[in-house]
Amino acid sequence: MALPMIPILALLALFLHAIYHDIIYPYFLSPLSKIPNAHWSVPISRLWILSYRRREEETPAVHEAHQRLGPVVRLAPNEISVNNVDGGIRSVYAGGYEKGDWYLNVFSNYGVMPMFAMPDHGPHSKRKRMLSNVYAKSTLQSSPSLRAISHAILDERLTPRLKDLSAKGESLDFYYIFAALTHDFVSSYIFGLGNGSDFLRQPAEAKKFFDDFKARQRYQFWPQELPGLTSFLSKIGLQWLLVPSWVGPANRDIEAMIQKMCNSAEETLAEVPEEDQKPNKAGAEMQNWPNVYAQLRNALLKDITTNCIDVKMSVVELVERQKLEMASEMLDHTLAGFDTSSIVLTFFSWEISRPEHEGWQKKLRQELKDVHDIHDAKAVDALPLLHAMLMETLRLHAAIPGNQPRITPPSATLGAPGHELTGLPAGVRVQAQAWSLHRNPDVFPEPDTWNPARWLSHERGGTSSEAQLKEMGRWFWAFGSGGRMCVGSNLAMFDMKAIIAAIWSRFETKVDYAEGMVHRGGYVAEPVGKEGKYCVLKLGDD
């Protein structure tokens, strides 16, 4: 009679183990059990957060959870979100938390990781040191190459087109124009004007690239959040169930375009003696100098001998590998640089063109009229009203307001001072999002209102004290923070200010159609658009 009891006891033991493992432990005993749950199911399932991520609604969902539950929220069995500076983004993004496969699975190009996707701090820091000087604010403001590029793109390409539209009384969708403009700007600084894109004068080609680029982003969810399923279906030829077949060719077309720019930049460098390969000494025209490409190329070439010893590769093999590394890095800089800036500029143009903000546009245009030379980078950068209006747009309309995941080290501690959560295990996915940081009402009163005056001191006619300005700076996260802060943030500020100065020093704008000017709720927050239109403005010439 004892034998039949054995399988019954075994089943009972399995049942009790399942109850403990899947319910009691995650809900009551896990180190994460003290953290408020965004949804009742999150201690045992990722379905709640995955459903929002799949629909590109994660950002507002997580923000609502923080509003209900506080600065630290549990999103899944092994995922948490933080929304505070001290004990939050300071600990995570400046405290040794590394990146996971979330970045690697989507942001690699040519099968090679760019700096942005590198999981470990060491290789990332080494690559960033190679590139930081070419993106330094002092370098950009004193660069004869960038000044020449700015003049060529803004005065010779953009302004004639806008004058023609203004004279005809025609409206223009500024999202498309900003996408073309920023791609031309960024690719020209990276590869040289003659080697970069000319989308402003090739609108059909620009629109195809832009539409393909944006459409493929809709399918990044699968390899990022469910890489195992994506890999399995790919191996058995069923990846089309998740990702349409055209996405692969679209990605390869983009890679081919950037590879062509790399080859053209290499030809430009070949025309200049090695000892003269500096922007201020190059025989090539200043505007055609491949600033970023040359910087990385020369830095990587210095590593060839050492790397050959370290990885047992021949010089030829290493050079070929480094060509792919350069192409991957340049692709990442180009796409990230144009996409984010075009989104911010589109929302900027929408805000100042709305009837209720007519006064802000008039003040900006007056400030710009007092500038002797709009291509004087230092003079434009020093304009207080322009800076305040751009900062407020970056706060309210950050291009990347979504999650920035990291992985906890062993025995991590998170939470505001006095409310710390200690002993968090290694391997927990922790994230923050600019959308929520930028909407803290204690730091940004009336956070959903576009109000540039908050970025101006009382002495400049604004509404903030010096202490308030300093606190807003601590919470401002449009470019991230810590060692992995956006390496191109200075270039982004430069080209956005230059573009704003070029347009609104010469034209006034009014909204013609902007029903689709609401953000997507995913990692990238471009305007949703409506009927294929985004921010359509009518221009008036002086």
Q: In the predicted model, what is the mean pLDDT of residues 277-299? A: 79
At 330-340, the pLDDT tens digits run 999 999 999 99
Which pLDDT does position 304 carry in this prediction?
Answer: 66
Beta 429-431 vs 79-82: how paired, if at all?
parallel
By three-state DSSP, how is residue 324 classified? Answer: helix
pLDDT at residue 1 in the model: 46
What is the share, in percent, of the chain residues with pLDDT greater than 90?
79
Domain boundaries, the chain: 1-29, 114-401+476-541
Tell whether the model's pLDDT for residue 308 goes beyond 60: no
Q: How many angstroms separate the CA atoms of 494 and 188, rounded?
A: 14
- Specify the pLDDT at position 315: 64
Contact, 261 vs 278, CB < 8 A?
no
Q: Where are the alpha helices (DSSP H) in 83-143?
A: 90-93, 101-107, 121-131, 137-141
Q: Is 535 labeled as ligand-binding?
A: no
Nearest one of 448, 472, 452 to 462, comparing CA atoms:
452
Taking a C-beta distance cutoff of 8 angstroms, is the pair 529, 216 a contact? no
Angle at 152 between CA 150 and CA 155, to 5 degrees: 85
Would you state the pLDDT for residue 313? 65
* Structure confidence at residue 241 (pLDDT): 94
Cβ neighbours of 72 (radius 10 Å): 24
Alpha carbons 350 and 172: distance in angstroms, whole number? 12
Q: Are 78 and 225 in contact (CB under 8 A)?
A: no
Indicate if the pLDDT at residue 311 is higher than 90.
no
How many CB atoms are closer than 10 A to CB 79?
Answer: 19
Average pLDDT in the chain? 92
pLDDT band at 278 (very low <50, low <70, confident <90, very high): low
Question: What percent of the chain shows pLDDT beyond 70?
Answer: 95
Confidence (pLDDT) at 149: 96
> Residue 475, Cβ neighbours under 10 Å: how many?
19
CA distance 505 to 2: 92
CATH of 114-401+476-541, one of 1.10.630.10, 1.10.260.40, 1.20.1630.10, 3.40.50.1100: 1.10.630.10
What pLDDT does 454 receive?
A: 98
Task: Give the tens place of pLDDT for each residue, 164-218.
Answer: 999 999 999 999 999 999 999 999 999 999 999 999 999 889 988 988 888 888 8
Residue 2 predicted with pLDDT over 70: no
pLDDT bucket at 277, cuts 50 / 70 / 90: low
Q: Read off the pLDDT of each residue in 464-483 and give the average, rounded to a whole number.
A: 97
pLDDT, average across residues 368-397: 96
302-311 as b/e: b if 16+ CB within 10 A: eeeeebeeee
pLDDT tens, position by position, 483-495: 999 999 999 999 9
Q: Which residues of 504-517 are buried (b: 16+ CB within 10 A; e: fewer)?
A: bbbbbbebbbbebb
Q: For the segment 229-243, what is each residue's pLDDT rounded down to a tens digit?
A: 999 999 999 999 999
Q: Above 60 in pLDDT, residue 284?
A: no
Q: pTM of this prediction?
A: 0.94
- Taking only the tens place, the pLDDT of each residue in 17-56 is 888 888 898 898 899 999 999 999 999 999 999 999 999 9
The answer to whether residue 382 scores a pLDDT higher than 80 is yes
> Distances in Å between the alpha carbon of 253 and those of 286, 382, 487?
29, 40, 26
The residue to which tokens 């938390």 are assigned: 97
Average pLDDT over residues 91-98: 90
User: What is 134-145 written as a DSSP string?
Assistant: GG-HHHHHT-HH
Question: What proportions of the chain, in percent to the nearest 5, are helix, strand and coil?
Answer: 60, 10, 30
What is residue 291's predicted lDDT score, i.e. its pLDDT?
Answer: 96
Instruction: Check residue 272 and give its pLDDT.
Output: 79
Which two structure tokens, joined as six digits, stand for 30? 């896990």
